[in-house]
Structure 1
Amino acid sequence: MPRLSVIVPVRHVRGSLRECLSSVLSQSFADFEIIGVADGSPDGSGQLLDEIAARDPRVRAVHLAQPAGSDGRRTAGTERATGDYLLFLEGGHVLLPGALQRIADRLAAAEDPDVLLYGHVRTPFRGTPLPSRSLQLLSELGDGTVCTLADRPELLQVAAVCWNRAVRRDFHEAGQVSFAPGQYGDRTYALGTLVTARTVATLPAACVEHRGQRQLPSPAEPEDQVAPNDLVEQFSELFDALQGTPRFDSVHGPLFALACRELLEAYATVPRRRRSYARAVAAFHQDHRSKGHRSPGGFGALRLRLLTRGRWGRLRGLDAALAVRRGLLAAGPAVRGRAARRLFPLYYRFQRLLPLNRRLAVYSAYWNRGVSCNPAAIQHKAAELAPKVRGVWVLSPKAAAELPPGVDHVVPGTRRYWSVMARATYFISNVNFPNHVVKRRGQVHVMTHHGTPLKVMGVGQHAYPAAAQGLNFKDLLRRVDRWDFSLSSNPHSTESWSHAYPSAVRHLESGYPRNDILVTATEERIAAARVGLGIRPGQRAILYAPTFRDYERTFTCRLDPERIAAELGEDTVLLVRAHYFHDESGLTGHRGIVDVSDHPSTEELCLAADALITDYSSVMFDYANLDRPIVVHAPDWEIYRAVRGVCFDLLSGEPGDTPGAVTRTTEEVIRVFSDGTWDSAQNRALRAAFRARFCTFDDGRAAERVVRHVLLGERALPAVVPLEERRPAAVPRQTDAGTAPEPPAGPAAGEATAPEPAEHRG
């Protein structure tokens, strides 16, 4: 007999059932059975259940002859269960890793309670998981709680659903409450078992992920047809069933208060027959009101009193008065909002009839996140070479609030924004301007991009769904057609942009303006950057800057920074920078680690670092300009290459492809920086070939070329300084110490300086 029976109702879950059942079958705890109950769903859910059950004996498929409703499917599952405890899981939800083990451990520690409540997270459709209110409440109670509902009436605030609790099977079979039909059937079951349980234990951990489903139109089924009074009737039946049970009197008051709140909330959702609903609520109130019950104050309480007392005329009057009040309160902002939505497009159209301002340039970076990257470098150089061209930044309200004084800017949607976008001559951004921007004759758009491409971009993403999610290719190409110039820092980029964004754009092989500082920085500038980060003289600084994964929602650190810092000692400091799509790295404090995720300048971090660890981030191409060691940490290269798509094999080990040592584990990273591999002769040779391929035009004069060609109209531009004539700034430790240490003689015996040939890798 298994410890746990997991019951899964199966209907209209064809697209999610496999993942749901896999989340159970992959649990580390193995003493369970799954009972899937299907009743003829037209989407083929039942056939999929049979397929999975045929492959795994832990899954039992039950087919009902007739549609039974959600209550019938759950009841059929409980009748066939043989486990000590019943768990219910919806076909669109999943168990989180380790959930069953945590549940089993807590049941044992609590000495087999009647009911165990556990937490869940909610994931909106195409959203990110969010902790639920129930999880927060359980966390406040702690994991030592074993009680009755009378001891802890606040447990009524835990979501009243069947899939966030384990119910002892013999308690269920002897219980006074069963599943009810309709939308609220498991709510009354959840409340009933909680009231009658002799012992209730809590587990303050998320065990279930409640996944929101996209609402699609589908033929209505009998169980979906909910009458307005169903909730009232089910609460009445619940109270009737509980009347006279041993523990009901002690929780009658809080349970009745909960019922009243839910009935009041449901009143707002009743579109028709509100009078009938009000009468039903009044009857419930009269039959089941607890002694001493008092309604709270406010309009909601007044509505509840009228509702529960059947004062339909006054209730209808209050509804009308509250509707008028809401309208009056919202009238001002609503009127202004409607006016703005109607007038601003007209205002924008009118402004486009006025002459262009030949001395106005609009700058934007990273979807209006701030003043940075190639556009910032161009504006800085424009202030020197073309001071008559005024620059205005487009910034989000948040970015605008964090600006230093003196930066001219506009916030999207404001009147000045529409005027600037209509009359500016130059538009310079590292991403596309929005679709609503209309390009006028005479306006010049410069796409600076924000990195050399390793991953597939533009129309190439069509073959990679994870990379193309939410991307409208027709809109993308319309935005691309606005470009006049596309900047490039090397021939590889020019070729890649031509393939990714097919258009009549002119490719300006100027170099990347943001990299000018990397090529021209002085030792004093480097020393200042290190002091600003708290790097001691002579200390080795390693910058870890991974990129994001399109198929992940949050930052995942694929190294153990604390272990690296501990192993490399106090002479090394690790600078960790999460991708700008993530707010922070989430790392805890450590003496040898500095979280620089919110540092305003990636270029300053590169200047300060003796070496770079990255995975697939374009920062490696920029950092190569410094001619300092680069270590590629690629534990998931095969996944990234297959899911995101790449332009070349970064791990091939061929000159020009791979910039230096390659690691897969934290241990390898520690070894590379301990035995000299990070800057060995072999890896210096790889870095030189990589630099020759990808730093072709980055000679420190990229911003000057863009300003002279675009803003000043010059055709003869400064020639590119050959790579062998460039003198990158000194390595920071050499700057600190005053002399350069001798480089390692070469790789130690048996060390891995470069990746093994592709044919030998998995």
Structure 2
Amino acid sequence: MPRFSVIVPAYQVQAYLPACLESVLSQSYDDLELIVVDDRSPDACGEIADEFAARDARVRTVRTARQEAPGPAREEGRGGAREEGPGAAGEEGPGPARNAGIAEAMGDYLVFLDGDDTLTPHALRSIADRLKETGEPDVLVHGHALVPWTGEIVRDPFAGVLSEQGPAPFRLEDRPGMLRVRASAWNKVCRREFVGDGGFAFPPGRHTDLGWSYPLLMAAESIATLERVCVHHRQRSVPATAGRADFDVFDQYDRVFGYVDARPELAQWRPVLFRRMVDDLWAVFSGRGRLPRDTRAEFLRRARDHYRAHRTPGHPAPVSSRLRHTTIRRNLYRTHRALELGRLLGRRIARPTVRLATALRAAALRLHYRVQLRLPIRADRALFAAYGDRGHGCNPGALEEAFRTLAPHIRTAWVAAPEHHHTIPTATRRITPDTAAYWTALARSKYLVHNTDFDRRLVKRPGQVLVQTHHGTPLKHMGLDLRERPAASHELDFDALLRGVDQWDYVLSPNRHATLTWQRVHPGRYTVLPYGQPRNDVFQRATSEDVRRLRESLGVPEGTVAILYAPTHRDYRRTQHLRLDLERLLRRLGPGFVVLARAHHRHGGPLVPVPTPRVIDVSDHPSVESLCLASDALVTDYSSLMFDYAGLDRPIVIHADDREAFEAARGTYFDLRSFAPGAIARSEDELIDIFASGHWRGSRSTQLRSAFRERFCPYDDGRAAERVVRHVVLGEPQSPPAIPPAERHPVPSAAAAAGRAPLTSVPRSAAETTRAETTAAETL
């Protein structure tokens, strides 16, 4: 008897079915059977299922009676309408096919997937572990993510309900918020005996999940949750078949309320289910393209009847949804239609009005800038910015602090979007981009400091000093070297790039390699200041108390080794998915390790969809330097952060599992294998071996890091910002000489300060130890 019976109904999903089945069969937990229910699909789904069954004994194919009404379907889920691809199967929906799979299942637990869904790696192992931890509950509700046709992964907005808080397992009355989770079969794992004893079955229809999920949760004696994303549910933009299939939602809620009415002990759930019903009816009614136009009035009439039939007196509608409740309760179809037409007309009027107002504002700002350009430059003003309009930080942030300390007669201002203003020190003026204050500061400040570029409409005036700090040592190809790499340049305007370079007066450089590279890829008449990276000064000034305080603020448990995982941007990939299974990494390394996950600033969101106490997403943290100080080791690939981190003299591990693809798309200035800052892992398993064996901070890694630091951190002695300000502002070209790396004493990591030996909690056989030593010898 297998632990899991994974049931996959297949109907018109031939393009997606192989990936779905592979995601199941490739799970690290293999105690399963895979039941593919060919719903007599007119495409090749049946043949694909047979091919998988022929090559893997865990796969069985079941066939149902022929569908009579094929075509794409839409199914209504909690919180709004959602589009389902053809995998939802004809007018009967996937319900009968799932029932056929349940009848054949022999596993302890039932897992449901649509034919175009996929299980995430190690999902079944995580589910199995959670089931064991919670004492074999009747139902386990796990996390999921939606995958639109655009490919990005969208986390369920109600994911927080699944957090593992309080006792587990529990009953529904202990956590009624569970009814807010999407009413779907594919986000629940059900004990087979519980399903059989309760006589649960999927009703026919497009909204079959409603008639399954709610009774299941109300009847369960024990429920558990798993916040981890276990399923990626594909959403394909498929036009709805004109018809009345969505009227099925009324029948499904009649079944749900009929189930409740037959069991007086469940009466407490009527008000909650009623609100869920209203939300779902409104989503169908208001969803664009969900209903043929000539059926909308009838749908609202039936919705009114259901409202009256299932409403529980004494439970008023929530304030946030009273409008929809009123519209349905009073059948205000004409009123709703009039409001829709009014909104449409308002949008049509508003668009040209907004465009006109925008054009007038832009013209006014251009005129304002031209006036400011004719006024005197203010010698006591300096304007700073980093990464476009992000908050205070990086090299400009360190220089802004040095300006206030060493040149207090200079008044500093920082350009940032309003959502980043909280990162700017109170002594520094906050300026919002593309405002009158912004153009005034840009026109009249003597000092302009940035790590990328200011607005390309900038007119550099005689007497202004523009300092280009950059943001790291170049490993990836930059500037003019991107002309032959279209995947990385993204139609970069090289003429505009060179016009910007012509405005630079000073360029900061952390080492000789960076100086030679910048002068070649950014040719100009600027002066190079080989003074180091100002943002790294804090590494020499910080104390062990600072490290302790930072770790506490980030939630790093005391006594653990914190790994900072900071991958770079992949130009050859449209989506920047996580390249490591961090949960598996931590599971193998044991409770003595945590991960601080940091996305690249171009990632546009968190690196980890669902953070956990041991995987802490720090993508939004304003200071990467603080994250470096809080960590005990760095894991990266081709990020320039490795050069900064080397100045801390802490272990660095390179995870380069796609070196050939990255080299082809972006290119690097030298091969990390020949001059590595530490151990190099070519796969996830090698990375685990490096940490489990202790090679990550062994003697060979220390030797490599020392040579790397000598070459790339010659000036990072804690006084880089001071040297820049003395040269540029105070006119003292004879800067203080740099302290040699061997004589520096950066603050030690928490693990090093505690004198802990390398941690390993993974039982290792002799063969594994030999393999780890061989890997270390090859990669080091």
Aligned to 2:287: 269
Aligned to 2:712: 694
State how far apart, in whole Å, the 2-side matches of 1:238 and 1:732 are.
65
Distance 1:422 1:640, change over 3 A: farther
**Residue identity in the other structure for 1:269:** G
Q: Give yes or no for contact 2:727–2:735 (8 Å, CA) kept in 1.
A: no
Q: CA deviation at 1:447?
A: 3.3
Aligned to 2:8: 7
Aligned to 2:58: 58
**Residue identity in the other structure for 1:4:** S
Distance 1:596 1:456, change over 3 A: closer
Q: CA deviation at 1:506?
A: 4.8
Does residue 634 of structure 2 align to residue 633 of structure 1?
Answer: no
- Aligned equivalent of 2:182, options 159, 165, 170: 159
Distance 1:534 1:412, change over 3 A: same
Q: CA deviation at 1:695?
A: 4.5
Residues 350-406 of structure 1 show CA distances to partners (whole Å, capped at 9, x for unaligned) of 134232654454321244444443324555666799888764321233443343332
Aligned to 1:747: none
Does residue 70 of structure 2 align to residue 68 of structure 1?
Answer: yes
Aligned to 1:472: 490
Q: CA deviation at 1:68?
A: 3.1
Residues 182-233 of structure 1 show CA distances to partners (whole Å, capped at 9, x for unaligned) of xx432344257539x96564231247645465765x6x4xxx2254x65445
Q: Give yes or no for contact 1:94–1:208 (8 Å, CA) kept in 2.
A: no
State how far apart, in whole Å, the 2-side matches of 1:621 and 1:153 are.
50
Q: Give yes or no for contact 2:543–2:747 (8 Å, CA) kept in 1.
A: no
TM-score, length basis structure 2? 0.65
Q: Give yes or no for contact 2:717–2:744 (8 Å, CA) kept in 1.
A: no
Q: CA deviation at 1:700?
A: 8.5
Aligned to 1:745: none
**Residue identity in the other structure for 1:31:** L
Distance 1:191 1:503, change over 3 A: same
Matched position secondary structure for 1:350 = helix
Q: CA deviation at 1:430?
A: 1.4
Q: Give yes or no for contact 1:575–1:596 (8 Å, CA) kept in 2.
A: no
Aligned to 2:34: 33
Q: CA deviation at 1:548?
A: 3.1
State how far apart, in whole Å, the 2-side matches of 1:416 and 1:732 are.
40
Residues 549-600 of structure 1 show CA distances to partners (whole Å, capped at 9, x for unaligned) of 5455599599989999999xxxxxx9989678699998979xxxxx999696
Deviates more, 1:615-624 or 1:356-365: 615-624
Q: Give yes or no for contact 2:635–2:652 (8 Å, CA) kept in 1.
A: yes
**Residue identity in the other structure for 1:235:** F
- Aligned equivalent of 1:225, options 241, 258, 271: 241
Q: Give yes or no for contact 2:144–2:155 (8 Å, CA) kept in 1.
A: yes
Deviates more, 1:252-261 or 1:237-246: 237-246
**Structure 1 gap segments, 5+ residues each:** 536-540, 568-573, 590-594, 735-751
Aligned to 2:20: 20
Aligned to 2:300: 278
Deviates more, 1:48-57 or 1:382-391: 382-391
Aligned to 1:547: 566
Q: CA deviation at 1:48?
A: 6.3
Aligned to 1:307: 328
Distance 1:21 1:295, change over 3 A: same
State how far apart, in whole Å, the 1-side matches of 2:311 and 2:619 are.
58
Matched position secondary structure for 1:362 = strand
Residues 43-64 of structure 1 show CA distances to partners (whole Å, capped at 9, x for unaligned) of x877766665554343456787
Distance 1:189 1:108, change over 3 A: farther
Aligned to 1:731: 745
State how far apart, in whole Å, the 2-side matches of 1:77 and 1:672 are.
52
Q: Give yes or no for contact 1:71–1:185 (8 Å, CA) kept in 2.
A: no
- Aligned equivalent of 1:351, options 368, 375, 384: 368
State how far apart, in whole Å, the 1-side matches of 2:233 and 2:274 are.
30
Deviates more, 1:165-174 or 1:387-396: 165-174
Q: Give yes or no for contact 1:517–1:700 (8 Å, CA) kept in 2.
A: yes
Q: CA deviation at 1:25?
A: 1.3
Residues 26-48 of structure 1 show CA distances to partners (whole Å, capped at 9, x for unaligned) of 33142312305376688x87776
**Residue identity in the other structure for 2:203:** S
**Residue identity in the other structure for 1:453:** P
Q: CA deviation at 1:459?
A: 7.8
**Residue identity in the other structure for 2:300:** A
1:456-467 paired onto structure 2 within 5 Å: 456-457=477-478
Aligned to 2:158: 133
Distance 1:618 1:557, change over 3 A: farther
- Aligned equivalent of 2:458, options 408, 433, 439: 439
TM-score, length basis structure 1? 0.67
Q: CA deviation at 1:411?
A: 2.0
Q: How much identity, in percent, do the aligned residues show?
A: 25
Residues 673-725 of structure 1 show CA distances to partners (whole Å, capped at 9, x for unaligned) of 6xx7776xxx3xx667545543467798866886799789x9x966996x8x9
Q: Give yes or no for contact 2:417–2:433 (8 Å, CA) kept in 1.
A: yes
Q: CA deviation at 1:176?
A: 7.2
**Residue identity in the other structure for 1:118:** V
**Structure 2 gap segments, 5+ residues each:** 72-87, 550-559, 570-575, 681-686, 749-769
Distance 1:66 1:438, change over 3 A: farther
Q: CA deviation at 1:6?
A: 1.6
Q: Give yes or no for contact 2:317–2:325 (8 Å, CA) kept in 1.
A: no
Residues 639-666 of structure 1 show CA distances to partners (whole Å, capped at 9, x for unaligned) of 56755764333343xxxx2457889633
Matched position secondary structure for 1:159 = coil
Q: CA deviation at 1:161?
A: 1.9
**Residue identity in the other structure for 1:30:** D
Deviates more, 1:63-72 or 1:393-402: 63-72
Q: Give yes or no for contact 2:537–2:718 (8 Å, CA) kept in 1.
A: yes
Q: Give yes or no for contact 1:5–1:82 (8 Å, CA) kept in 2.
A: no
State how far apart, in whole Å, the 2-side matches of 1:128 and 1:50 are.
30
Aligned to 2:691: 666
RMSD (Å) for aligned C-alpha atoms: 6.1
Distance 1:243 1:707, change over 3 A: closer
Q: CA deviation at 1:179?
A: 2.1
Does residue 528 of structure 2 align to residue 509 of structure 1?
Answer: yes
Residues 321-353 of structure 1 show CA distances to partners (whole Å, capped at 9, x for unaligned) of 89989999x9xx999987874443223321342
Report how many aligned residue pairs link the two structures: 675
Distance 1:263 1:245, change over 3 A: closer
Aligned to 1:93: 117
Matched position secondary structure for 2:169 = coil
Matched position secondary structure for 2:186 = helix
Q: Give yes or no for contact 1:369–1:399 (8 Å, CA) kept in 2.
A: yes
1:362-373 paired onto structure 2 within 5 Å: 362-373=383-394
Q: Give yes or no for contact 2:532–2:713 (8 Å, CA) kept in 1.
A: no
Larger radius of gyration: 1
Q: CA deviation at 1:510?
A: 1.9
State how far apart, in whole Å, the 2-side matches of 1:245 and 1:531 are.
59
1:671-686 paired onto structure 2 within 5 Å: 672=697, 683=703
**Residue identity in the other structure for 1:483:** V
Aligned to 1:239: 254
State how far apart, in whole Å, the 2-side matches of 1:154 and 1:549 are.
38
Aligned to 1:179: 204
Distance 1:451 1:518, change over 3 A: same
Does residue 466 of structure 2 align to residue 448 of structure 1?
Answer: no
Does residue 139 of structure 2 align to residue 116 of structure 1?
Answer: yes
Distance 1:345 1:318, change over 3 A: same
Aligned to 1:746: none
Distance 1:66 1:473, change over 3 A: farther
Q: CA deviation at 1:410?
A: 0.7
Aligned to 1:621: 643
Distance 1:62 1:325, change over 3 A: closer
Matched position secondary structure for 1:122 = strand
Distance 1:208 1:726, change over 3 A: closer
Distance 1:82 1:321, change over 3 A: closer
Q: CA deviation at 1:418?
A: 3.7
Aligned to 2:78: none
**Residue identity in the other structure for 1:472:** H
